[in-house]
Structure 1
């Protein structure tokens, strides 16, 4: 071959080069020399080189030139289109068809359809329609919102009352994913949206669970989910405190898993298995929390006592969401010790601390009702005044006047008193009778009217609070009669039957869609423990399933098992002083909140 005919090779630029063209040359379809740190062509033309790394663009910005001049960017206006009927039915046909991949892997798979955006970008999140969907046979699956499809809300759980026309997103202060409804959105639109810079360094898998906590789980910790829900403020601390982030992820994943488990039958209280990836994410996050907790306790002064206490409270909640048995006790004892170390409020706001401490105190009172209490435990709770702490949290999830909670605690302590030369049986009976009169004569109406917030989700919040508080008052009266049997002998058997009938009437008046319906779990358990006829026991079973639909927490299954055990003891005719003492003798170590 002639020397002049040799094909010239590609000229290699001197120095280090990038593995892809710069953004300017790629957009102008020019051959880039890929020089680092800036393209030589851009410098020669006097153009600012945009470089080779990932760039971020403002969404909703107005174009200054071109065919879209004067129009806004549509990136922030994307709402995934509703799937067709056939696609909805296919995706909801079986739990076994659920993808076992994590949400992060689902997002990377979806990125194949959008090559213009890198799937590895930490600033984007792509929703996957098949991650947590729950089985449903209803023909209205196509009318569910995209949020329901992502998080597995089905038409069987119709008490969540999600608005089909609105896409639930995080609050403005802690927005994880920015998306609004747009009538022109189609399936061909890009699903990528920018997120709050506070969360862009968190993986998309974790961001999904934080978004679920913001939109759904945080509602379970207050009576009314108002915009200033104090528990939602925990999200802003999740990036700086991995311990808090992991425990919120564990709680959200466990809650999502319970919601996605299908019922074995319409009249059954048992559920099948849910998506495996949710369970694995929950267990992995819980393992990370337990691994980080010892070092956090050693450096509690630098991290902050409020952050550590919040993490332990949610670790208790994780156990209650999973089963409500055994494991929560060790965490609860640790929470009592940490509360002794709390100093002045530092990073978290005072309202958040009040609600965290209030929840711990409510858990302590409810734990004392069915478990034997020792005199050398819970020294912090014993040294505190219940009214002072509980009166600060009028929007507490439990929806019960502090005075009634105090009566409940005193009754639990009286029932655990051992008779000796100092405290006689007559003294305990007299004190119990005085407590019973105090509970029966307590007026809940002023407390029900004392509500500073105006929830939009409740038509008549005063009536709702009055009914639930009345049910607590009657249940506490039944508890006193059974926890201190000598009091029932003192007042007569007829009073217990009268209170039982009144409690059944007031519970029947609380609708399933009442926001405060979730606060009747302990009341329903006490009513079920006092039930004697098969009709009343069947009614209690239906009430427990309604509670499971409203709040899929595992402690409800523990309550069902305890009731079944009590009913079996009654059916066998075994001698029983009182069902409260029987529960304590069984050492079931369950907690009903």
Structure 2
């Protein structure tokens, strides 16, 4: 059984107002108060958001030690922390109003400054053969994906994902020079490398659902083959971002691939898609979390198949069940923050006002848990889809093609 984990302070750090942080650890003696504050903020408030179960082996928290010797990783952590801190001052309704003309706070300026510093540092690192092969460089680039979620959920996430994939393929464990940061923090960075590889796999399968076709490349990631790494269930859960089972991710990847072919010149028969669908084994109810992704995948896959054979299948019973599962997961904060993707599926397919109102309420609760602006934008997207359906009296199946036209290529996870 997993319980809420309360991380200890980084030695010598206390999450107090700026200027009141106490310093005891020699590693922190050369850091300014802004850096000390946001390192502690990252440990306490950010790391737990992007892992299903927080614990002492959270790979996101374990890289803090490596950040002391990597200015790039340190700036990436501060950019992420300060953006979350800025978002935490906003209400759900205020989040919808954030635009380029919004008056910026000091925290906003800090977030932008360190984001710019991170992007500049990454630009330099990818042009240096040694730096681009460091795990700290890959980790810094990967954290930008979480920053994309906090900022909006649209814009550059696909570019950052492709960049991380390319960097991962260039890591050569056996050719690193001795005495580097890689050796000193080898255990932590090996852990984060495996975590990054797995989460890239998650995002590249979930991400295309709400984006335009062929947004991502089919470049495989390495050097750690995902299927060759079999770990105990407990360790997987403690290192899992969203908890979506791998076989469902495989199915979603196949669905999105089939959707892409629908808009290409290459023909694809119904039998081809059926083959992909039937690859999925019968899913046992290992948890309500797995069931929510299963239902979302079934609904999404049916919409793809409907488009291929020019039919429309009623999925009201699946939508009602998905709504019920989401309701059951509301009381578990650890699992609730993992189900934005199936929640959006439920919202896009809901025709009843009571269901739409329920999903809207869940999104507001989700915002309070995570402070990611992509959740706020999700609410805006769903309202536009609902208004569009009511105005045009259209069918739900069309959202698989038009979702990417609603203001961007959305990463709603």
TM-score w.r.t. structure 1 length? 0.60
Equivalent in the alignment of 1:443: 284
The answer on whether the counterparts of 1:251 and 1:318 sit within 8 Å (CA) in structure 2 is yes
> Retained in 1: the 8 A contact 2:132–2:167?
no
From the CA coordinates, give the structure whose radius of gyration is larger: 1
Once structures 1 and 2 are overlaid, which stretch shifts more, 364-373 or 309-318? Answer: 364-373
Shift of 1:354: 0.8
Q: Does 1:578 align with 2:407?
A: no
CA 1:421–1:540: 2 relative to 1, 3 Å: closer
What is the match of residue 13 of structure 2? Answer: 177
Once the two structures are TM-superposed, the CA of residue 384 in structure 1 deviates from its matched residue by 8.6
Contact 1:253-1:281 at 8 Å conserved across structures: yes
1:112-131 alignment runs, 5 A limit: none
> Following superposition of structure 1 onto structure 2, how do residues 174-323 of structure 1 map, counting pairs within 5 Å?
174-177=10-13, 193-262=22-91, 276-302=105-131, 304-323=133-152
CA change 1:386–1:483 in 2 (3 A) is farther
The residue number in structure 2 matching 1:485 is 306
1:151-203: per-residue Cα shift (whole Å, max 9, x none)?
xxxxxxxxxx898xxxx642xxx524279xxxxxxxxxxx6733321121010
Distance 1:274 1:422 in 2: 49
Deviations 1:26-57 (CA, angstroms, capped at 9, x unpaired): xxxxxxxxxxxxxxxxxxxxxxxxxxxxxxxx
Structure 2 partner of 1:403: 247
Flag structure 1 segments of 5+ consecutive residues without an equivalent: 1-160, 180-190, 446-465
Q: 1:328 to 1:575 in 2, by over 3 A?
A: same
Aligned pairs for 1:455-534 (under 5 A) are 466-486=287-307, 493-494=313-314, 496-534=315-353
CA distance in 1, matches of 2:378, 2:228: 30
Change beyond 3 A, Cα 1:572–1:306: same
Q: Distance in 2 between matches of 1:299 and 1:357?
A: 22
What is the DSSP-based 3-state SS (H/G/I as helix, E as strand, rest coil) of the residue aligned with 1:175?
Answer: coil
Task: Write the distance in 2 (CA, Å) between the matches of 1:417 and 1:384.
Answer: 29
Maintained 8 Å contact 1:521/1:592? yes
What's the Cα RMSD here? 3.3
Structure with larger RCO (C-alpha < 8 A, sep 6+): 2
TM-score with structure 2 length normalisation?
Answer: 0.84
Match of 1:400, SS state, is coil
Residues 46 and 84 in structure 2, CA contact (< 8 A), matched pair in contact too: yes
Greater share of residues in helix: 2
Match of 2:274 in 1: 430
**1:376–1:254 CA distance, 2 compared to 1 (3 A):** closer
- 2:179 aligned with 1:359: no
Query: Aligned equivalents of 1:251 and 1:502: distance in 2?
Result: 36
User: Offset of 1:300 from its aligned partner?
Assistant: 4.5
* 3-state SS in 1 of match to 2:118: helix
| SS of structure 2 residue aligned to 1:394 | helix
